Amino acid sequence: MELTERQKEFLKQIFDNYVKHKTPIHYSAVAQWLGVSKWTAYDMLRKLSKEGYLSPHYCLSRKGCPGRSILCYVPTKKLAQLLGREEELQREEWHDWKEMLLSRIESLRCREGHQLVGELSELLSETKTPMMFCAGVLALFAAYIRSVNEKGMQMVQQVAEAINRPEQRLSLLSGMVVGLLSKGSSGDDSPGEGGGILSTLVNKYHQYLERVDRKHYSLLSDFLDDLFQVVC
């Protein structure tokens, strides 16, 4: 489908506001920005979604019944390519994913670590890039180590701070998890259900880490430092 100028304007407005407000876009907002009816905006969003420029995303409604969700949209890679703004979209997606993970990890102060491990493992299916997957697994590792051995997490931080190369730092946490799982299998400090999930993720983590662009290793390494600040 060849886009009309009006459709291109829709898409540019959606992309700009997604980047500005860092939230999925609802058709009522698009109608207000462009001065059209809600139904015109709704129909256009559906058409552009079918063409692959937008991706549907269900958000919890701020009004109405608790738990009720509303249909919103987020820009796709195809739209970013159309506008020549791929790197900008990647930055926004990375920022949102990172902040969500850190928020979940911070909740360890008042919840069970193994429960959080299970929740984070389910979120991995939503990752869009190898870097986002690796960040999700790093958060899982941190949640697990923190839940079974708080002092162990502090030791990992001390060792990591002495390592300068990002790729070595990123391998450190997975090695610590393997050590704790091995310890649990010998009868000391059982790893529990969370350990069973993580034992299947260690190899997969390293496979995805090899697919991460080398220039993004430093971003993952910085994220690891953020994890240490939250859990230690």
Length of the chain: 232
- Local structure of residue 213 (DSSP, 8 states): -
Reading the block at residue 216, the tokens are: 């993004």
Cβ neighbours for 148, distance < 8 A, ≥ 6 positions apart:
113, 180, 184, 189, 191, 192, 195
Instruction: Give 182-211 pLDDT, tens digit per residue.
Output: 665 444 444 444 456 777 888 899 999 999
In the prediction, which pLDDT does 126 show? Answer: 80
DSSP secondary structure letters along 80-129:
HHHHT-HHHHHHHHHHHHHHHHHHHHHGGGGS-HHHHHHHHHHHGGG--S
Instruction: Give 87-110 pLDDT, tens digit per residue.
Output: 888 888 898 899 989 988 888 766
pTM confidence score: 0.72
The CATH class given to the 5-84 domain equals: mainly alpha
Residue of 54, 58, 33 lying closest to 44 (CA atoms): 54
Rounded CA-CA distance 142/52 in Å is 36
In the prediction, which pLDDT does 54 show? Answer: 93
Sign of CA dihedral 181, 183, 186, 192: negative
Whether the predicted pLDDT of 168 surpasses 80: yes
Residue ranges per structural domain of the chain: 5-84, 88-231
CA torsion angle for 63, 67, 72, 73 (degrees, to 10)? 140
Rounded CA-CA distance 226/229 in Å is 5
In the prediction, which pLDDT does 83 show? Answer: 92
In the prediction, which pLDDT does 113 show? Answer: 65
- Local structure of residue 222 (DSSP, 8 states): H
In the prediction, which pLDDT does 130 show? Answer: 93
- The mean pLDDT value for 114-122 works out to 81
- The mean pLDDT value for 152-156 works out to 80
Instruction: Give 62-81 pLDDT, tens digit per residue.
Output: 444 444 678 889 899 999 99
